[in-house]
């Protein structure tokens, strides 16, 4: 099997799926890309058995073929090459791979492509279509709140619910929560599933600057995403997602409106003076003034800033984890946010202002007990 391809074009495709490859695997072949050529079209596969991904590129080839090629050495070699046509020559009896460039020749040992794990195919699936910009926005605004606690597997993934009213996406780590609703992504028959974090990160990277429609199919065990000749398949998290309704406070008489960037900038500076184990920051609301402060008694550090805001409600002081609050603010791209608070011991809500009527975003953050 022999084919010619642009080194830069091949590298771009490999970068899309390279994140699938795991270095800690019991099967050495999982450290390989699978190259499959059919009628002048090269499909490149990567899998870790939980997540699989493929992409396509046209090549100059006179025959079809299949070979598994070590991912790391190929990626590193292509990244170090200037853009040029390169030739792959595969010996199908020994599975050796020879790459010829303008000034060099490189050899590596491949593996039999027939031994590569079989990639799941869609069977008995439900189908829907979603705008790539919306999907990217969901991932960007919700991924930071995913849990890392493997003892609660459901919360390590993104909960996705579809019905005829729209789509709802939820992420939470028990300290903070994001609920993202989109009314224009609908499904007649209500259903839900939980997407794992790795798949979300791969989707985020692959969707960057891709203004297109994403075809989504899913069954009881896998989800399939297809767009721009890219395919991603992931095993769904088999667990029951917790009911978030009781967690979201509905009676929040204290309401704050403030410029997002100004608040985020203040928080970024004040965090430098917070205790490095608790990252506690105090918000003091009095009239139309917000005072943000933090201190680290162990090192006699303290900082505070005053901001002008629109506030209606009783004077109050409430503490939050500054890192959690900063991650929320940094994920918001709207000019202003609204915060709704009830008491210093109950969760606070962050509601980004948006001109998009189809999108409704709610963020929740649990308070921390203030030092007395």
Q: Which DSSP state fits 371?
A: P
Say yes or no: 294 and 343 in one domain.
Answer: yes
Looking at 94, 115, 136, which one is the last position of a domain?
A: 115
Span between the terminal Cα atoms of the chain, in Å: 73
Looking at 63, 84, 115, which one is the last position of a domain?
A: 115
One digit per residue, the tens of pLDDT, for the chain of length 372 reads 999 999 999 999 999 999 999 888 889 999 999 999 999 999 999 999 999 999 999 999 999 999 999 999 999 999 999 999 999 999 989 999 999 999 999 999 999 999 999 999 999 999 999 999 999 999 999 999 999 999 999 999 999 999 999 999 999 999 999 999 999 999 999 999 999 999 999 999 999 877 899 999 999 999 999 999 999 999 999 999 999 999 999 999 999 999 999 999 999 999 999 999 999 999 999 989 999 999 998 889 999 999 999 999 999 999 999 999 999 999 999 999 999 999 999 999 999 988 888 999 999 999 998 865
Q: Are 166 and 181 spatial neighbours (Cβ–Cβ below 8 Å)? A: yes
Say yes or no: 133 and 237 in one domain.
Answer: yes
pLDDT single digits (tens) 348-358: 999 998 888 89
Q: Which domain holds residue 173?
A: 126-245
Number of domains in the chain: 3
Alpha-carbon dihedral sign for residues 285, 291, 296, 297: negative
Phi, psi angle pair for 245, to nearest 5°? -55, -45
Residue 270 neighbours by CB under 8 Å, 6+ apart: 281, 292, 293, 294, 303, 304, 305, 322
Q: Is residue 120 part of a domain?
A: no
Say yes or no: 196 and 137 in one domain.
Answer: yes
pTM: 0.93
How many C-beta atoms lie closer than 10 Å to residue 95's C-beta? 17
Helix 322-331 crosses helix 260-271 at what angle (to 10 degrees)? 150
Say yes or no: 223 and 309 in one domain.
Answer: no
pLDDT single digits (tens) 162-177: 999 999 999 999 999 9
């Amino acid at each position: 099997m022999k084919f010619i391809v642009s080194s830069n074009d091949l590298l771009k495709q490999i970068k899309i799926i390279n994140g699938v490859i795991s270095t800690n695997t019991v099967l050495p072949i999982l450290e390989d890309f699978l190259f499959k050529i059919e009628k002048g079209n090269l499909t490149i596969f990567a899998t870790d058995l939980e997540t699989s991904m493929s992409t396509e590129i046209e090549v100059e080839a006179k025959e079809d073929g299949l070979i598994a090629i070590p991912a790391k050495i190929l990626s590193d070699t292509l990244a170090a090459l200037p853009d040029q046509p390169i030739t792959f020559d595969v010996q199908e009896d020994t599975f050796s791979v020879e790459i010829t460039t303008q000034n060099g020749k490189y050899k590596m040992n491949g593996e039999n492509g027939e031994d590569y794990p079989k990639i799941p195919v869609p069977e008995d699936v439900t189908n829907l279509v979603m705008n790539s910009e919306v999907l990217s926005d969901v991932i960007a605004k919700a991924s930071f709140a995913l849990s890392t606690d493997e003892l609660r597997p459901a919360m390590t993934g993104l909960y996705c619910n579809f019905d005829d009213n729209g789509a709802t996406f939820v992420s939470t780590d028990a300290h903070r929560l994001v609920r993202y609703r989109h009314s224009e992504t609908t499904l007649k028959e209500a259903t839900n599933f939980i997407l794992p974090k790795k798949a979300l990160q791969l989707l985020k990277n692959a969707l960057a600057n891709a203004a297109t429609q994403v075809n989504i199919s899913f069954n009881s065990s896998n989800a399939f995403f297809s767009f721009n000749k890219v395919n991603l398949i992931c095993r769904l998290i088999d667990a029951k997602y917790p009911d978030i309704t009781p967690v979201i406070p509905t009676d929040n008489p204290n309401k704050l409106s403030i410029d997002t960037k100004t608040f985020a900038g203040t928080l970024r500076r004040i965090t430098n003076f917070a205790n490095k184990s608790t990252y506690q920051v105090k918000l003091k609301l009095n009239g139309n003034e917000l005072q943000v402060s933090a201190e680290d008694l162990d090192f006699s550090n303290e900082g505070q800033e005053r901001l002008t805001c629109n506030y209606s409600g009783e004077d109050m002081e409430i503490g939050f984890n500054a890192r959690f609050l900063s991650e929320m603010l940094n994920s918001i791209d709207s000019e202003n946010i609204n915060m709704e608070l009830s008491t210093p011991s109950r969760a606070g809500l962050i509601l980004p202002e948006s001109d998009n009527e189809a999108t409704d975003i709610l963020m929740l953050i649990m308070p921390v007990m203030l030092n007395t």
